[in-house]
Amino acid sequence: MSIARLRTAAVASAAIVALVGCTATPVVPPSSEVPSATSSPTPSGSPTPASSWSAEQQAAIDAVHGYSETSLRIGADPSKYTEAQMRAEFKKYLGGDMVPNNVGAMMTLKKKGWHYEGDVRVLSLNATKAVDNHSERGLEVHVTVCRDQSAIRVADKSGNLANTDQPPKFNLRQYSVRKPAGSHTWRVYGIATVDGRCGS
């Protein structure tokens, strides 16, 4: 797959962008369709063998997976979390503006009484070799993930489709994952839209 990095997505609802590739705020006409998936969102494992990655690549991939799992877990029932708890959970895997953006997105879900339902499946995953930025940015790996999220829905308190844009069936995103100078932890610092095929 040929991948061309585009500008980093700078949106207020970064958590939803990371998960579903759209924002939670646009309003669309209500739908009478009831989602068939009622389970809490859960990501499936990566189809790529872990043994093929370097230690740096694997650490970056783990940060992306941790971010996705945290988004799905909190998104399945945002009412269970305070803003401080959300922040603490996201800070394990995110850095920079990604933390407040994701917390803000989840707080929006919570205030509206919305939540995620369904499963997400990883179709493909690629990681670049670690690059030393020779600056405070430290080491950096770009992780590109194609997800099948056709079973994911944003639902309201009653379990009906929320009055918002629903996730696209497939989501192709590239994550900028860094281990800043002086740090021992890899975290996601940005999400970019990329060119390439993801699903059909």
Average pLDDT over residues 154-171: 94
The helix (H) or strand (E) run that includes residue 141 is strand 139-148
pLDDT of 9: 30
Partners of residue 132 on adjacent β-strands: 139
Q: How many residues does the chain have?
A: 200
Contact 18, 146 (CB under 8 A): no
pTM of structure: 0.77
The answer to whether 188 and 176 are in contact (CB under 8 A) is yes
Ordered structural domains, the chain, with CATH: 5-28+39-194 (3.10.450)
Give the Cα separation of 121 and 149 in Å (integer): 6
Q: Which residue has the higher pLDDT, 83 or 18?
A: 83
Of 175, 165, 182, 173, the residue nearest 140 (C-alpha): 175
